[in-house]
Amino acid sequence: MVRLVIGSILGGIAQFFIGFIFWGTPLNRIAFKALGDVQSADLQAALARNLTVTGTGTYSVPWTGSQQGTALFGQGPIATIHFNTSGFPALDSASLIAGLILSIVTAFLIGMVLHGVAHRVTALAERMRIVVLFAAAAVLYLDLGQPVYNHFGWPYFIYSGLCDLIGLIVAGLVIAKWFLPNPTSTVDRV
């Protein structure tokens, strides 16, 4: 179990590093559309006027809880807004630390699955097949499901999904290659 914890820490660091490459470098501009400074300030002021009263949260605009909102939603334009009333630094160290912990916990869960089948699945290629298939399933549903159900955001969610897929696979590879038990016999154990 100590090896699994060490592997999870290293796998989580590897996954976190992949996330940094995708989101902490100018590469992240692939995922976003940008507004000019004047348009950004105008939109930020409109958000502050209209959303600060109800507070931090995720908003579907227009809201489909009324007949008028449903009609407006069908006409467009529409938006899903992740709103924070207070803002925070662009590179917030607290969120980076929390993100690293999340990556380590995620790697530990991957490691627990791999550890559970390690005596039956001894070949690295087969272990990686498990990692790749579960990572692909998670990304397909969680990332690519967003633009399927919400009819927008394909570039953002493809980019995010690619980051998630690579990060999960790399974390799984670190654990599968160096931190799982190597049984002395390849005979299946029940």
Q: Along the chain (190 residues), what's the average pLDDT of each consecutive run of 10 residues?
A: 96 98 95 96 95 92 96 95 89 91 98 96 96 98 96 95 98 96 56
Quick one: pLDDT at residue 190? 42
Same domain for 174 and 99: yes
Quick one: pLDDT at residue 182? 78
Residue 15 and residue 109 in contact, taking contact as beta carbons nearer than 8 Å: no
24 contact partners, CB below 8 Å, separation of at least 6: 91
What CA–CA distance (Å, rounded) separates 44 from 166? 34
Report if residue 39 sits inside a domain.
yes
Quick one: pLDDT at residue 11? 98
Same domain for 164 and 139: yes
Report if residue 29 sits inside a domain.
no
Same domain for 120 and 109: yes
Quick one: pLDDT at residue 109? 98
Quick one: pLDDT at residue 40? 96
Quick one: pLDDT at residue 183? 64
Number of domains in the chain: 2
Same domain for 101 and 170: yes
Same domain for 164 and 122: yes
Quick one: pLDDT at residue 184? 54
Quick one: pLDDT at residue 185? 46
Radius of gyration of the chain measured on its C-alpha atoms? 21
pTM of the model: 0.89
Same domain for 109 and 64: no
Same domain for 185 and 114: yes
What CA–CA distance (Å, rounded) separates 80 from 152? 10
Quick one: pLDDT at residue 125? 96
Report if residue 157 sits inside a domain.
yes
Phi first, then psi, for residue 4 (nearest 5°) are -65, -40
State which residues form the domain around 176.
1-24+91-190
71 contact partners, CB below 8 Å, separation of at least 6: none
Report if residue 30 sits inside a domain.
no
Report if residue 83 sits inside a domain.
yes
Same domain for 118 and 103: yes
Same domain for 170 and 119: yes
Quick one: pLDDT at residue 147? 96
